[in-house]
Structure 1
């Protein structure tokens, strides 16, 4: 989206064309293309990187001027950005996370298992694992009870997400890591969504992350009134 500042306001530019320049991490120009702006002052562009394209940061520049001399004379009229190109590296292993229940009640104990295994079948014994256990406020709507929801109203201030546990360790001989956490009250007005995120890193420093969620109910019962 392109906008031009006139009299202190951002407006659709009068010019209908723009030049796009992309330079790779070796400072080589790999794209130079003129595009036509839509009536809304926007454009869409896609291009394909070469199979042997170098990795690293690439620079992209948008300007109404084609020549580099004119672009340098009018730096206020150009936009500069960047993106990163990485070498593709296929995964050598997979990671799973599971909790012992699909839902809990505050004050319950949550037990979870993090497991890493190589794609050729071996367990990831001794590899590094890190995790974060977080509670996010949520509204609960029971299945089969359309129109009922339990939790703070839209007019109330939202509770803040809370990190309740984090840590690091190593997978055991079977490629598993076990953790247990008591789900104490954190002051939410309603129920919560429990989110467990785990990252496993192998000897080559390749890391794979995954997550799972479960509902933590405010209590064992919900009481609703139909008016």
Structure 2
């Protein structure tokens, strides 16, 4: 996924034709460990079927909404952010929802948000999260001129999550993508925020949007899992 994302970002820089400072996404308190228990009590196939329907706008962080036309403004980027089922052992489904943004909340000439759910047959283990992290880190070891990236662990809702940062700049245009992935029972929830703009985009300003999308994905997963029981 990260390698495909780097290629899309290269294309993206050529497509950007300035904005005010970033506004932090609203924070949400959620006990991810407790949600994991709810998810594990639900059938993975039933959960996957329920997740095919995107969350309502009211369940998304401030500044993000479902595309009115049904097709996101940057559909090619949404495709690059889909994690293939084969990239996680035992996965039964990978569902990605793309969201448009309110420019008054999420700045950037090209900005978007995504929530990806990878549903597995059994609980996602620490070892599998390690493999996911190592796979992302290895992508940055390839020849990606003009692209910088990092992978780290962060605390999210009381559990460890993997944060992936991709930054690229060309001809005065910057693009930053933050992905935050957290295992919730048998489902990996990945929130992604993209901001591309003239000048410099601070990755630290984009991270809160990705965290908020991930937390919104966890909350929606809990609702779907409860309905699937």
Q: TM-score range by the shorter chain?
A: under 0.3
* Higher relative contact order (CA closer than 8 Å, sequence separation 6+): 2
* TM-score after normalising by structure 2: 0.26
TM-score by length of 1: 0.26
Q: Rg: which structure is higher?
A: 1
Bigger helix fraction: 2
